[in-house]
Amino acid sequence: MKSKKTYAVFGLGRYGTAVARELVDNGIEVIAVDTDERIVNDAASYLPVCKCADVTDMEVISRLGIGNIDTVIVCMAGNLEASVMAITLCKEAGVRTVIAKCSNEMQQKILLRVGADQVVFPENESGIRLAKNLLSSGFIDMISLSKDVSMVEIDVREEWCGKNLIELNLRKKYGFNIVAVKKGEDVDVNINPEQALDAESSLIVIANTAKLGKLK
């Protein structure tokens, strides 16, 4: 089984704090960073790894080991320049996924242009909701189709490898509908239920969002 992913949250305002606390409360390793020493000292009581540092400095990014983090959430929408620098440095350090908070559509375009993989509007997506999406272990991507239904791409688990969909009976066990099997850039919607799954493949499924926790 794959080990738990690691996260870093840059900026401990209301949104960043909500993301970091939700992740930590669920046993996830999080590096929380802010430039305000007072905020960092206050947050240290509930965030085990909390640093006062300037994430627009490449030496800081290197010293904190951010290049080894799976996902960084940049929550500094009030400072566009700092957000741009942080995203750029994270990508240069090798961070696979960078999620950034923005306050308007122009910021969204800029942050995506400089390398953010996902941009969120706090008025549309709460910090807790973002954290819950991130906590959906094994999910490569997640799209909310409605309030109750989501489409997600999930890794083929180690224990599923070598077995076919008939044998696994995932619909009965987890309550989701498999709509495609993806391997590399190829997406096969004409699923052969007798074809054995392998570790290089992923499944695209539609499910009731509340039931996705069964996969954790």
Which of the residue ranges 58-72, 129-143, 165-179 would you say has the lowest mean pLDDT? 129-143
**Which pLDDT does position 203 carry in this prediction?**
86
Residues 125 and 58 placed together within one structural domain of the fold: yes
Residues 127 and 155 placed together within one structural domain of the fold: no
pTM of the model: 0.61
Most confident of 92-101, 125-134, 194-203: 92-101
CATH number at residue 172: 3.30.70.1450
| Count of CB atoms situated within 10 Å of the CB of 74 | 26
Residues 130 and 148 placed together within one structural domain of the fold: no
- Asked if residue 42 is part of any domain, the answer here is yes
Q: Which of 83, 111, 134 marks a domain boundary?
A: 134
pLDDT of 58 > 50? The answer is yes
Rounded CA-CA distance 99/9 in Å is 9
**Which pLDDT does position 62 carry in this prediction?**
96
Q: Which of 134, 157, 190 marks a domain boundary?
A: 134
pLDDT of 17 > 60? The answer is yes
- Asked if residue 2 is part of any domain, the answer here is no
Rounded CA-CA distance 141/161 in Å is 20
| pLDDT tier at 2, thresholds 50, 70, 90 | very low
What mean pLDDT do residues 45-71 have?
95
Which of the residue ranges 20-24, 59-63, 119-123, 174-178 would you say has the lowest mean pLDDT? 119-123
In order of 66, 100, 164, the CA distances from 78 in angstroms are 22, 12, 49
Residue pair 197/156 in contact (Cβ under 8 Å)? The answer is yes
Amino acid at 199: A
In order of 34, 73, 168, 193, the CA distances from 159 in angstroms are 40, 31, 10, 17
Rounded CA-CA distance 202/2 in Å is 14
CATH number at residue 109: 3.40.50.720
- Asked if residue 163 is part of any domain, the answer here is yes
pLDDT of 198 > 50? The answer is yes
Angle made by CA atoms 122, 59, 89, in degrees to the nearest 5: 40
Residues 120 and 183 placed together within one structural domain of the fold: no
The CA dihedral of 84, 88, 91, 95, to the nearest 10 degrees, is -50
Count structural domains, the chain.
Answer: 2
What mean pLDDT do residues 131-159 have?
67
Rounded CA-CA distance 71/6 in Å is 7
The CA dihedral of 80, 84, 90, 93, to the nearest 10 degrees, is -150
Residues 171 and 95 placed together within one structural domain of the fold: no
Rounded CA-CA distance 36/13 in Å is 10
Residues 146 and 125 placed together within one structural domain of the fold: no
- The residue segments making up the domain with residue 161 are 139-215
Mean per-residue pLDDT of the chain = 84
Residues 38 and 112 placed together within one structural domain of the fold: yes
- Asked if residue 40 is part of any domain, the answer here is yes
pLDDT of 136 > 60? The answer is no
Condensed to tens digits (0 to 9), the pLDDT of residues 148-162 reads 777 777 888 888 899
Residues 56 and 121 placed together within one structural domain of the fold: yes
**Which pLDDT does position 135 carry in this prediction?**
56
pLDDT of 97 > 90? The answer is yes
The residues pairing with 158 across neighbouring beta strands, listed in sequence order, are none
Q: Which of 114, 134, 154 marks a domain boundary?
A: 134
